Structure 1
Amino acid sequence: MNNELLEHKVNLNEKRLNNHADRIDKLEQNDARKEIQIENLCRSIEGLTHTLKWGFGFILTAVVGFFIYAIQNHIFK
C-alpha cells in the first residue's frame, strides 16, 4: 500500500512538472511574439515622429513665408 501511494504521488508530481514545463514553453513563445510586436511598434512610432518633424518644419516654413510675403506687400500696416 505504501509503495502504491508513493508511486501515485510520484506520477502525479511528474504530470504536474510536465504540465508546468508545457505552460512555461507557451509563455516563452508568447513572450518572443510580444517582443517582436513591440519592436515593430517602436519602428512605426519612429517613422511617425520623423514624419511629424518634417510636417511641423513645413508648416513653420509656410507661416514664416506668409509673414514675409505679408510684410513685403504691406498687408499688415
Structure 2
Amino acid sequence: MFLTNMLERGSQEVVLNDISASTGVLLVEYLYSGNIDITQLNAQDLLAASDMLLLGALKKKVEDFLLSHTDSVNCI
C-alpha cells in the first residue's frame, strides 16, 4: 500500500473502514513493539484485522489464543 503506486502512498491519512479505533490502536502498538494484549473481548476483531492486513504472526497469536480459550461450552 505504501511502497507501491497506490493512492495511500502519498497520503498523510489512511482510512481503514473495517477496523475499529480500539483495534487500530492495538495494531499500531503491536507493529511498533511486537507485543499485544489479546483478550476475549478483542480476539475476533484482531483476527479479522490481522487477516485483512496479512499480519501472519499476529494472526497465529490470535488463533492460538482462541484455541486455548475454546471448550465444549463456548464452541457453538
Question: For the superposition of Structure 1 and Structure 2, which TM-score range results when normalised by the shorter chain?
Answer: under 0.3
Higher relative contact order (CA 8 A, sep 6+): 2
> Per residue, is there more helix in 1 or in 2?
1
- Structure with higher Rg: it is 1
What is the TM-score with the length of structure 2 in the denominator?
0.22
